Amino acid sequence: MTPNDATDSDQDLNPDSARDVTRRSLLAATGTGLAATAGCAGVYTPADAANDVAVRGNVDYFAGPTQLAADDAVFLDARTRDLFRTERIYGARLAPVDELTAQSETESGLIPDTEALASAFGAVGVAPDDDVVVYGGSVGSRVTRVAFALEYLGHRGDITVLNGGFENWTGRVGTGDRDPPTAEYDPDVREELVVTRDWLAERVGTFNGDGPGLVDVRSPEAYLGAKGSAALEESNRRHGHLPGAVDVHWHGNVDGRTLADPIELASLYFNAAVLDQDGTIVVYGQGNVNPTSTWLALRALGATDVRLYDGGFAEWANVPEAERGRYPVETKTTTVVEAEGSVGGSDDGGFSCTG
């Protein structure tokens, strides 16, 4: 099967393959769905919505509203400030998403700015031992960037992403401004979760072969460097992708407001894209927000060593002209894995038992 032969079926998976452990456990743990809990026949209630976004199977990080266990967890709202002020989960704090993209320049390339990330979490009262629940309008990349930043800082408490986002929350809500408490965030950085520009340059020619798996999460048009495409970033001096990278658009991780079907995601990445679940996998995008969606999805599915190129294609494509030989870009050798998905969803809030 070639990387372009993505399938929605698990029937072609090799049951003896080590990388299929997650898919087998997902299949074994997935049920036929929870029974409706409507208060009146024929009416879809908020409780039904909460049950429908419960995460089934052997999946880490993601949980529906009915699956949250920590009563004293800190809720972080990754939506915009305007949405947060209008209505939010009661007691939630506004996640400092923009500050969590901060980077530091090293001799090897850009990496996350540890001091800036730690300061941003401390400013909203998050301490390293706190259990944290992150939510947004969906499970999009703003939410996953928050989760990644916590993991990178060596967060010791549980980190959970609310599947279904705010629209499927059935608990208490609040409105207006709120000044959060502050905390001292003392990081224990996990440097193994990121790679640098030079780390990648030393392995060019080995990706998705003898070396690490490498996933470009941008749209196929950006990956291919399609001339005239609106997907091309004008700020990039070169277009295309890192040699050997396979393209799987990050939108494929999201189905409206929820994580896409875990069985299909496992097939997409470990079968169609032929990534080694037990090997090193590096993900990158234009910047350092969108690829965290794929980073978290792969970790949630049980991939053991997933790393983020925080500098992204923006750094790689814009090295000085004299250094381009060390950091090549290609468009001719291409592997695009079709990934269907959409971020968002309808806002249907009409619940009534009065007919």
Q: Closest by alpha carbon to 95, among 73, 80, 115? A: 80
Assess whether pLDDT exceeds 80 at residue 115.
yes
Assess whether pLDDT exceeds 90 at residue 19.
no
Q: What pLDDT does residue 176 have?
A: 79
> Is the whole model's pTM more than 0.85, yes or no?
no
Q: Place 191 in a pLDDT band, splitting at 50, 70 and 90.
A: very high
Assess whether pLDDT exceeds 70 at residue 192.
yes
The owner of tokens 């049980």 is 302
Find the mean pLDDT for residues 294-311. 98
Q: Place 180 in a pLDDT band, splitting at 50, 70 and 90.
A: confident
Assess whether pLDDT exceeds 60 at residue 118.
yes
CA distances from 203 to 78, 194, 263 (A): 35, 15, 31
Which CATH number is 192-343's, of 2.60.40.1180, 3.40.250.10, 3.30.460.10, 3.90.79.10?
3.40.250.10
Assess whether pLDDT exceeds 50 at residue 35.
no
- Residue 242 or residue 352, greater confidence: 242
Q: What pLDDT does residue 43 have?
A: 65
For the chain, give the mean pLDDT.
Answer: 85
Find the mean pLDDT for residues 98-104. 98
Find the mean pLDDT for residues 325-339. 93
Q: What pLDDT does residue 332 have?
A: 87
Q: What pLDDT does residue 340 have?
A: 80
Assess whether pLDDT exceeds 90 at residue 154.
yes
Q: What pLDDT does residue 123 have?
A: 97
Phi, psi of 208 (to 5 degrees): 55, 30
Q: Give me the residue spans of the domains in the chain.
A: 18-189, 192-343
Assess whether pLDDT exceeds 90 at residue 188.
yes
Q: What pLDDT does residue 343 have?
A: 78
Phi, psi of 76 (to 5 degrees): -115, 125
Assess whether pLDDT exceeds 80 at residue 51.
no
Q: What pLDDT does residue 306 have?
A: 98
Task: Calculate what percentage of the chain has a pLDDT beyond 90.
Answer: 74
Find the mean pLDDT for residues 237-261. 96
Assess whether pLDDT exceeds 60 at residue 207.
yes
Find the mean pLDDT for residues 211-222. 97
| Beta pairing class for 254-256 and 342-343 | parallel
Quick: pLDDT tens for 63-92: 999 999 767 999 999 999 999 999 999 999
Find the mean pLDDT for residues 192-202. 98
Q: What pLDDT does residue 58 have?
A: 85
Q: Place 5 in a pLDDT band, splitting at 50, 70 and 90.
A: very low
CATH class name, domain 18-189? alpha beta
| Beta pairing class for 305-309 and 280-284 | parallel
> Distance between CA 197 and CA 316 in Å, rounded?
7
